[in-house]
Amino acid sequence: MLQGNGGQEPPGDSGSGGDGKGAARDRISDLPDDLCHRVLSFLKAWEVVRMSLLSRRWRHMWASAPCLDIRHPCACNARADQRRYEAFVNNLLLRRSPDVPLDTLHLSWTHSGAVDTWTVYAVRHHARAIELSGTGHYPRPEPEYTSFLFGNFKILKLTHVKMYSELLAQLCSRCTSLEELELKNSSIHGVTIRSGSLRRLTMVNCFTPNSLLVDAPGLVLLRCIRPYSVVPEIRNSGSLVTATIMLDDSCLLHRCDHEWPPIEDDGDDDDVFFAYADGSDAENPDDSESDDDGSAGSDAENPDNSESDDDGSAGSHAEDADGSESGDDGSAGSHAEDPNDSESDDDGSAGSHAITVFGGSGILRSLFNVRTMELLAHRGEVLLRSQLRNCPVFKNLKTLSLGEWCIGPDFDALSTILEHSPNLEKLYLHLDEDHNSRGEISPSGRPFTCNHLKLLKITHFKDDTITRKLVEFVCQNGNGGAGSEEMRKAQDEAAESSGKSVRESQSPE
C-alpha cells in the first residue's frame, strides 16, 4: 500500500525520517475522502477495518465508508464461525458514524435471522442500494418483507431467493423510491409486479409457476433472460426504451418448483474470513465460546436499538444507474429433463408447446416503443414465432439483435420483423454454430424496406453459405435504393468476415 521511488521520496516531499531519505511517503493517504471510499467499496468490511492500521489518516476511515460488503458463508458451510461473524457485523454497525448515510449494503443469507436486522439497519440509514444473495441455501430462503418497508432505497438485487405474493406486493407498494429491481435464479410465486416508480427490471433464470404480470408505466429497461415455466406478461410499457428477451423452450418446460440448473454464481460470498481456528469442521459450533477478534467493542443483539428514532425518509435521490448489458450468452441446453417426473398443478401437459402454457401473451406488442431490442432464442423457439402474427410496428427501433430462431430456410420470420422496423439502423444476427440443422436455404420472405440501415453484423457462424445469403437478402430487400453506400460496405465487411472464418476453419492445426 505504501509507494516510493527507490526508497526515496519525490522532490518536494518530506519524509518521516527528517532527512527525506530512506522512507517512502504514504501517497494513498493523500487521496481525497471520496476516492478513498471508492477504493474501500471493493473490499469486504473486515478488510476495510484492518486498513485502519495503515496510518492515522485511515484509523477511522472505515466508520464513514458508504459501502458495506458483509457477504460471508453461512454456518451451514460448516467452516464459518457464525457467532464471531455476527458479533463483528453488529459491532461494526453500532460503531459506524451515525451521521454518514449508508449508500450500498451487500449481504448474504444466514439462518439466524440476522439478515433481517441488518436490512432494517440499511433501510433506516437511507441506503440507496441493497443486494441480498441466498446462494448455497436449499431450499431457497424467503426474505421477510417487513425488513424492506418504508425504505428509500432505489436499487434492490435479490439472488437465489423465494418470493411470494405478499413480498412482491409490499415491495412494490411500500418502497415508493424503488427504481431498479434485479432478480436472479429466484423462485417467484407472486402474480404481479406493479410499481409506479420502477424504471429498470431484470429477471435472470427465474422460475415462475403461475402467470406473472409486470405493470410498471415508468419502466425504461427490461431484461428477461431464460425464464422458467412462464414468460411474464408486460403491460403499460409505453416508456420502455431498451428490452432484452432471451428464451429457451427447454427452460419453459419446467413446471414445478424444483431445483433447476443454477446460473454461474458471480457473487463474492465464499471468503470464509470468520473460520474456526483449527480450520476444521465443527460438529456443533453453538457450543463453543466466541473468540471475537474484531475491532468493534461489546456485542449487540440489535444494532438498530441505539438509533430507534432514525426512521425518517431521505429526501434526496441519487442519479439513475445505467443498465448494464447482459453477460449471458443464451447457451442453455436444447433438452430438458422429463417434466412429467415432477408434480404440476397445471391442467395442460408440461411437455406441450402450447402458448397458453408458456405465457408471454403479447410480448412483442408490449415492446412497440423501444429503441434497442434483443430477441434471442435457439432454432425452433415457439413463443416468439407465434407472436409474429400480430407483430407491431417498431417505429422507434434503431438497434435490433436477433437469434437463430428467426433464421429459417425461407427467412420469413426475419423479413417480418424487418418489415415492421422501418427506422432500423443497426442489425445484429447471432447464429448458432450448429448450422447443419437449417436445411436448404431458399429465401422467400416478404420484401421489406429499411432505408436507414447502416450496419449489419453476423456473429457465431461457421457456414459461409448462410452468411452470404443473409447479407444478400438484407441488402437486396432492405434499403429500397437508399443508403446503398452504407449497405455495400456492410455487405463487403460481412463477406470478408465470412471468408476469414472459412480460411480459419480450413487452416491446419
Q: C-alpha 304: how far from its chain's center?
A: 30
Q: Is the pTM of this model over 0.85?
A: no
Closest CA to 283 of 77, 73, 78: 78
What is the DSSP secondary structure assignment for residue 104, as one 8-state letter?
A: E
pLDDT of residue 23: 55
Interhelix angle 412-419/464-478, nearest 10 degrees: 30
C-alpha cell at 260: 433447476
Query: Tell me, what's the pLDDT at 130?
Result: 95
Tens-digit pLDDT string for the chain (509 aa): 434 334 333 334 444 444 445 556 667 777 888 888 888 888 988 888 888 887 788 888 889 999 999 988 776 655 567 788 889 999 999 999 988 889 999 998 888 888 999 999 999 999 999 999 988 887 888 888 888 887 889 999 999 999 988 888 888 888 899 999 999 999 998 889 999 999 999 999 999 888 899 999 999 999 999 999 889 999 999 999 999 999 988 888 765 555 455 555 455 555 544 444 344 444 443 443 334 443 343 333 444 444 433 433 333 333 333 433 333 443 333 333 333 333 333 333 333 444 445 677 889 999 999 999 999 998 878 889 889 989 999 999 999 999 999 887 788 899 999 999 999 999 999 988 765 555 566 666 677 888 899 999 988 666 667 788 888 888 877 654 444 555 556 556 555 655 454 444 344 44
Place of cell 460448516: 78
Helix (H, G, I), strand (E, B) or coil at 463: coil
455: nearest Cα among 432, 433, 479, 431: 479
d(CA 94, CA 125): 12
How confident is the model at residue 485, as a pLDDT? Answer: 59
Find out whether 85 and 291 touch, Cβ atoms under 8 Å: no
Cell numbers standing for residue 306: 441505539
DSSP assignment letter at 207: B
Element (DSSP H or E) covering residue 357: helix 355-358
In angstroms, the CA 388 to CA 3 distance is: 62
Distances (CA, A) of 290 to 95, 100, 275, 279, 294: 20, 30, 12, 15, 11
Q: Which three cell numbers stand for residue 433?
A: 454454430
Sequence-separated (6 or more) residues with CB below 8 Å from residue 323? 180, 200, 202, 221, 223, 242
Would you give the DSSP letter of residue 202? E
Q: Give me the pLDDT at residue 442, please.
A: 66
Residues ≥6 apart with Cβ < 8 Å to 11: none
What values do phi and psi take at 401, rounded to 5?
A: -120, 130
Integer Cα distance of 238 and 216 in angstroms: 10
The three-state secondary structure class of 496 is helix
